[in-house]
Structure 1
Amino acid sequence: MAQVASHDLANRMAELARSTAAPRSVEQVLEDVTSTARELMPGADAVGVLLIGKGGDFESLAGTSELPHTLDEIQMKYREGPCVDAALGETVLRTDDFRTDERWRRYGAAAVEYGVFSGLSIKLYTAERTAGALNMFGMKPNAFNAEDETIGAVLAAHAAAALLASKEGEQLKSAMTTRDRIGQAKGIIMERYGVDDVRAFEMLKQLSQDSNTKLADIAQRVIDTRTGA
């Protein structure tokens, strides 16, 4: 049984790796991860991803049904639950029966009301300001085992890689936008005041320091003076 499961996991991970060769959104990658988790874990009746920002804001993503989103909202309301704890601290958290688990009494009672008795949450190693977890939910007690934990850890690593790649892409895009904005502002100053590009950049930096404003924001203000004229 373990050999068959390992073979299935290897095949599915190969498919996921091939699918990431083409440009795809992070949402699509996460949906592949959650659907694969549901496919490979017999006890996983619903799967989702929870991301928690440093300020406490959260996103519930790639749910295989509405159930993971509902349970995430309950956890964030009570500020307790395995998904929250896995995202913020623990690497793997497994619950065999929420009716008897004393760790999250309010959340556990709410989960049971929705027919959820088992849970498996695995930490995603995401960006510094964002915590995350891949979360599996079972409608029966004792739905998950050690093999499921291994499968979940592999899939969580794949999901985390997609999230980090997406973050790096956003940062690169932001940096390119900022560079273009500063370049445009420099051109305006050079034309308006008859200075070279070095002097134009020095003027932008001075304005930034004097007003304690980000250089990109100063550049945008310069651009606005031309577009508003």
Structure 2
Amino acid sequence: MADDAPDLVATGLALIRTLQLRRPPERVLGAIAEHAVAGVPGAESASVAARRRPSRWEILAHAGHPARLLDEAQVRAGDGPAVACTPPPGDAADAAGQVLHIEDTATGSRRWPAFRDAAAGLGIRSVLVCRLWDDRERLGSLSLCAEAPGAFGADSVRAAGLFAGHAALALSHGTLVDSLQAGLLSRQRIGEATGILMERYKIGPREAFAMLVTTSQRLNTKLRDIAAQVVETDRSPHEFNAVRPGQAPHPVGSREADDPPAAV
């Protein structure tokens, strides 16, 4: 492994530079997957999976198709080492180790039958899964695969840790960007709705904002959704009726709010 250290250091510096250039997370993760295949002893393909919500996963990058196809099989089944490596927050398995190492999928993956069958179909015998995390939550997993059993050793685990760290940074950055963009859009909608109410009722910003908050509390609906309805329907908040969870508030007088269902 000592002979490989300079290459891994150079690779790490290159990946840091890629992150500093603020390239799209998917592009950064693709580079990380490619470098992981080249830098982790025994690795032949790699895949990065992210948990967008506790029940929804997404494959963001891969290098080589076997690892991607194996991750996709686990996402469909909702089971497998990549999923078990990143359980939902609060799950008892969250205290498990950061790396899951299956030396032979033919004999060491009995707890995941769907995964075992998919690995057999793809000709994958060795799997190394690194959990990706930041200070707040589990983000996803980096999976490394090989055709031969026992392909990964201690050196492989150490090298994979380097790439897992960079992948976690890229995922964390992407999550932060998505959150900031969503927050910016929400604030923009709330500002637009406040301006509409100020103009209509000749009131100040505090009074207009209070109208939105009161309706949000009355209907148990997020403030950004009330603001969006004001902007999109040009109605006042007090005109909205309560609806079933998951639906937008309907203005009083609309068909959805007041009319009985049409005869079929």
Q: Please give the TM-score of this superposition, normalised by the length of structure 1.
A: 0.89
Cα 1:78/1:192, change in 2 over 3 Å: closer
- Aligned partners of 1:77, 1:200: CA distance in 2, in Å? 47
Q: CA deviation at 1:40?
A: 0.7
Aligned mates of 2:227, 2:38 — CA distance in 1: 51
Identity of aligned residues (%): 32
| CA distance 1:98–1:166, shift in 2 (3 Å) | same
Matched, 1:46 2:45: yes
Distance 1:42 1:203, change over 3 A: same
Match of 1:92 in 2: 99
Structure 1, 185-194 or 65-74: larger mean CA deviation: 65-74
Normalized per residue, which structure has more helix? 1
| Secondary structure of 1:142 counterpart | coil
Q: Please list every run of at least 4 consecutive aligned residues from structure 1 whose deviation after the TM superposition is greater than 3 angstroms.
A: 52-55, 76-80, 102-105, 126-131
Which residue of 2 is the match for residue 58 of structure 1?
57
Give the deviation of 1:81 after TM superposition: 2.7
Pairs within 5 Å for 1:97-116? 97-104=104-111, 106=113, 107-116=115-124
The aligned amino acid for 1:68 is: A
State whether residues 37 and 47 of structure 1, in contact with CA within 8 Å, keep that contact through their aligned partners in structure 2.
yes
Question: What is the alpha-carbon root mean square deviation over aligned residues?
Answer: 2.1
Judging changes above 3 Å, is the alpha-carbon distance between structure 1 residues 223 and 102 closer, same or farther for their aligned structure 2 residues? closer
What residue is the counterpart of 1:137 in the other structure? 145
Alignment of 1:1-229 (within 5 A): 2-88=1-87, 89=94, 90-104=97-111, 106=113, 107-125=115-133, 131-226=139-234
Q: What is the deviation of 1:109? A: 4.1
**Secondary structure, aligned partner of 2:123:** coil
Residue segments in structure 2 that go unaligned for 5+ positions in a row: 88-93, 236-264
TM-score (norm 2): 0.78
**Quick one: distance in 2 between partners of 1:126 and 1:132?**
10
Structure 1 gap segments, 5+ residues each = none
For the structure 1 residues 175 and 149, does the alpha-carbon distance in structure 2 shift closer, same or farther, using more than 3 Å as the test?
Answer: same
Q: 1:192/1:64 Cα in 2 relative to 1: closer, same or farther (>3 Å)?
A: same
Cα–Cα, structure 1 residues 155 and 173, in superposed 2: closer, same or farther, change >3 Å? Answer: same
131 and 16 in structure 1: CA distance in 2 versus 1, 3 angstrom threshold: closer
The number of equivalent residue pairs is 226
AA of the residue aligned to 2:168: A
Match in the other structure for 2:240 = none
